[in-house]
Amino acid sequence: MRDDAWFDELFRLHATAVHRYFARRAPAADVQDLAADVLATAWRRRDDVPDGAELPWLYRTAGFVLANHRRKGRPTPVEHLPDVADDTDPADLAVADDEVRRALARLSARDRQVLLLNAWEGLDGQQLAEVLGISRGGADAALSRARARLRAAWADDDADDAAADDGPAGRPGTGASATPPTTQAR
């Protein structure tokens, strides 16, 4: 039976990771509440949390909590409405580099999820499999495919940049690049 001591240990080990997950993906004003929702769910469903895979279970639950939160929305008093709608995903705000953001934008939501869980949250193959609800082999394949698609998107961006910068004879402003896009200065 999982008791208060079990939950205290779960909290001590993983509360910061859950908080960081939301800090990268949700408005700052909602991060504490969302993290608390995940931990409250862990307490309520403590018998469902798999031994040795607590953090992947928490991340999977966090994904559901975040999706529900985004669907609900929050009423905003009229006097606080901005002049222009902000449709920016908070996760994208954490990616400050324009080139990385452009390459990630070319990927599917699933590929972005796989890559960011691996890169931001540090999940390995088995943990990634548990968060995604697939087999370990499926998670490894999904990560490999997502990485390949990111490389291709990055190469496409480099090629687009080169075509815009150079001309057909390798002369600036005339169309084709004389230098390979991967070695071209940015």
Over residues 121-137, mean pLDDT: 90
Over residues 27-46, mean pLDDT: 93
- pLDDT given at position 49: 93
Give 138's pLDDT tier (boundaries 50, 70, 90): very high
C-alpha separations of 27 from 8, 23, 41, 121 in Å: 27, 7, 21, 18
Give the model confidence (pLDDT) of 159-183 as tens digits: 776 777 665 554 444 444 333 334 3
- pLDDT given at position 186: 34
**All structural domains of the chain:** 1-93 (1.10.1740.10), 95-186 (1.10.10.10)
Q: Which tokens in the block code for residue 116?
A: 């960011």
- Report d(CA 120, CA 32) in Å as an integer: 19
Residue 183 DSSP SS3: coil
Q: Which tokens in the block code for residue 64?
A: 């559901």
Q: Which tokens in the block code for residue 182?
A: 């991967």
Query: Is the pTM above the cut of 0.85?
Result: no
